C-alpha cells in the first residue's frame, strides 16, 4: 500500500483512545488491589475462609484474563478499522462493554467477599 493511500489515526483520536484505555486499566488495577487486600485480610481468619479467599483469587485471575483478552481483541479490531467512523464506533463499544464488565465483576466480587465473610463469622460448632 502506498504512503498516500495509507490510513493514519489522527493524533487527537489516538490520545483519546489511549486515555480511555488507561482509565479502564487503572480502574481494573484498583479493583484487583482491593480484592487482593480483602482476600489477604479474610485469609487470616482460618481454614473456613481460606476456601473463600481461594475463590476470590481464582475469580480475580479469571477477570484479569477476560479483561486482557478484551483489550487485545479491541487493539486488533483497531488495526483493521477502515476509517475514523469505524474507529469511533469500535472505541465507544469497547469502553461501554468494559465499563459494564467491570461493574458486573465488582458486583460478583462483592458477593463472593460477603459470602466468605459470613462463612468466617459463623460460630464454630
Quick check: is 39 in a domain?
no
Tell me if the pTM is above 0.75. Answer: no
Contact between 42 and 56 under an 8 Å Cβ cutoff? The reply is yes
User: Mean of the pLDDT values across residues 28-47?
Assistant: 67
More confident residue, 104 or 31: 104
Quick check: is 70 in a domain?
yes
For residue 5, the SS3 value is: coil
Q: Kindly list the distances between the CA atom of residue 56 and the CA atoms of 10, 41, 60, 90, in Å, as whole numbers in the listed order.
A: 41, 12, 6, 31
Say how far residue 87 (Cα) sits from the centre of its chain: 21
Domain of 58, in residue numbers: 47-115
pLDDT at 27: 77
Q: Please tell me the distance from the alpha carbon of residue 79 to that of residue 63, in angstroms, as a whole number.
A: 25
Only one residue has cell 483512545, namely 17
Quick check: is 15 in a domain?
no
For residue 92, the SS3 value is: helix
Quick check: is 124 in a domain?
no
Quick check: is 9 in a domain?
no
Taking 50 as the threshold, does the pLDDT of residue 54 lie above it? Answer: yes
User: Mean of the pLDDT values across residues 78-85?
Assistant: 88
Quick check: is 32 in a domain?
no
State percent of the chain over pLDDT 70.
79
Quick check: is 106 in a domain?
yes
User: Mean of the pLDDT values across residues 49-59?
Assistant: 77
- The total domain count for the chain is 1
Quick check: is 123 in a domain?
no
- The mean pLDDT value of the chain amounts to 79
Amino acid at each position: 500500500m502506498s504512503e498516500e493511500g495509507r490510513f493514519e489515526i489522527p493524533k487527537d483520536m489516538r490520545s483519546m483512545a489511549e486515555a480511555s484505555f488507561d482509565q479502564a486499566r487503572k480502574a481494573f488495577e484498583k479493583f484487583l488491589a482491593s480484592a487482593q487486600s480483602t482476600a489477604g485480610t479474610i485469609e487470616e481468619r482460618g481454614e473456613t475462609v481460606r476456601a473463600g479467599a481461594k475463590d476470590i483469587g481464582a475469580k480475580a485471575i479469571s477477570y484479569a484474563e477476560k479483561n486482557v483478552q478484551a483489550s487485545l481483541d479491541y487493539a486488533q479490531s483497531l488495526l483493521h478499522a477502515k476509517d475514523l467512523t469505524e474507529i469511533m464506533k469500535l472505541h465507544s463499544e469497547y469502553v461501554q462493554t468494559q465499563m459494564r464488565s467491570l461493574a458486573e465483576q465488582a458486583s460478583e466480587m462483592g458477593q463472593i467477599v460477603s459470602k466468605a465473610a459470613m462463612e468466617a463469622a459463623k460460630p464454630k460448632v
